Amino acid sequence: MSRRWLITGCSGGLGRVLAEAVLERGDQVLATARDPRSLADLVDRYPQTCRATALDVTKEGAAAAAVALCEQEFGGLDVLVNNAGHGMLGAIEEGTPEEYRPLFETNVFGVIETTRAALPALRKSGGGRIVMMSSGAGIAGIAGDGYYNATKFAVEGLSEALAQEVAPFGISTTIVEPGPFRTEFLGRSMRVAAVEMPEYAGTAGLRRRYRADHDGQQAGDPQKAIDVILRALDAEQPPLHLPLGDRAYTLARTKFTAFLESMDEWEPLAARTAFGDT
């Protein structure tokens, strides 16, 4: 059966590749971007199954309007992909409210409002899918990525709770956690703190240099990432967490190993905190 998709952030990156792959296999897609002119070629290539509309996830009512359009054009919604977002580099001390608050508006509050708007339609469809595009940065914190880490950690916690809430409706939730893939993420999708403090040259400053050296050189193939995502969504029981690429799996295993080692060391003392424990 073909599915009806609403995908945010389709102007480039994984969102664009996903929209093309889904359309190629015959599904219906409402592709969205802040500037829908960037999606005109998709509509031209797939006039029967693709619609495009403007969607700024930070604007009140914009997500609800997109969901309504999807229902009007396709008769319902089966898959929501929360892909819109951007990054930010800089030490915590370097960032300013003018720089990090818009990051949270898009990456966190935009995801919340889009999901809330889509849930009534997804409940109607039965067996719906929600895809939360997180990041390896949602698995482990890295110096210089702190603000971006914070937004993706928020998406992870939100999604884990959401998965439990919507499972009784037959809706699955999958948190996709890509490592480095060759998209525009390190380029136009990355904001950098204007202040650069020499005190952080050896920590957060390394991420600034990583961006300069690796933009357009990332090892990950976006098409292969999308192939894995589609295979996961086609599964009878899609995974809750879906790291993508070697880097994401290394981050996860390194973090969880250290976490468990620390728990084992401190549990004899730290777990005995109830009244009456000695």
Q: Alpha carbon of 177 to those of 12, 62, 138, 158, 160: distances in Å?
A: 18, 26, 7, 14, 13
Q: How far apart are CA 36 and CA 69, in angstroms?
A: 14
Output the CA angle 23-24-25, nearest 5 degrees.
90
Residue 179's pLDDT is what?
A: 84
- Categorize the per-residue pLDDT at 43 as very low, low, confident or very high, splitting at 50, 70 and 90: very high
Side chain identity, residue 158? L
Buried b (16+ CB within 10 A) or exposed e, 237-258: ebeebbbbbebbeebbeeeeee
Residue 76's pLDDT is what?
A: 97
Strands (E), the chain: 4-7, 28-33, 50-54, 79-82, 87-89, 129-133, 172-178, 190-192, 241-244
Query: Contact, 28 vs 2, CB < 8 A?
Result: yes
Q: Mind listing the pLDDT tens digit for each residue in 148-207?
A: 999 999 999 999 999 999 999 999 999 999 987 776 666 677 789 999 999 999 999 998
User: Which one from 46, 148, 159, 172 is the annotated catalytic residue?
Assistant: 148
Q: How much of the chain, in percent, has pLDDT values that exceed 90?
A: 83
- Tell me the angle at which helices 222-234 and 13-24 cross, rounded to the nearest 10 degrees: 60
Side chain identity, residue 88? M
Q: How far apart are CA 187 and CA 142, in angstroms?
A: 19
Q: How far apart are CA 183 and CA 217, in angstroms?
A: 9
Q: How far apart are CA 247 and CA 265, in angstroms?
A: 27
- Categorize the per-residue pLDDT at 1 as very low, low, confident or very high, splitting at 50, 70 and 90: confident
Q: Judging by DSSP bridges, how do beta strands 241-244 and 172-178 pair with one another?
A: parallel
User: 181 — alpha (psi -120 to 50), left (phi > 0) or beta?
Assistant: beta
User: Which one from 125, 134, 135, 159 is the annotated catalytic residue?
Assistant: 134
Q: Mind listing the pLDDT tens digit for each residue in 209-219?
A: 877 776 666 77
- Categorize the per-residue pLDDT at 33 as very low, low, confident or very high, splitting at 50, 70 and 90: very high
Residue 207's pLDDT is what?
A: 85
The answer to whether residue 46 is catalytic is no
Residue 183's pLDDT is what?
A: 64
Q: Mind listing the pLDDT tens digit for each residue in 49-93?
A: 999 999 999 999 999 999 999 999 999 999 999 999 989 999 999
Please compute the mean of the pLDDT values over residues 140-148 and round it to a whole number. Answer: 95
Residue 72's pLDDT is what?
A: 97
Q: Mind listing the pLDDT tens digit for each residue in 90-112?
A: 999 999 999 999 999 999 999 99
The answer to whether residue 224 is catalytic is no
Q: How far apart are CA 171 and CA 131, in angstroms?
A: 11
The answer to whether residue 134 is catalytic is yes
Residue 110's pLDDT is what?
A: 97
Residue 214's pLDDT is what?
A: 66
User: Which one from 100, 125, 152, 172 is the annotated catalytic residue?
Assistant: 152
Whole-model pTM: value is 0.93
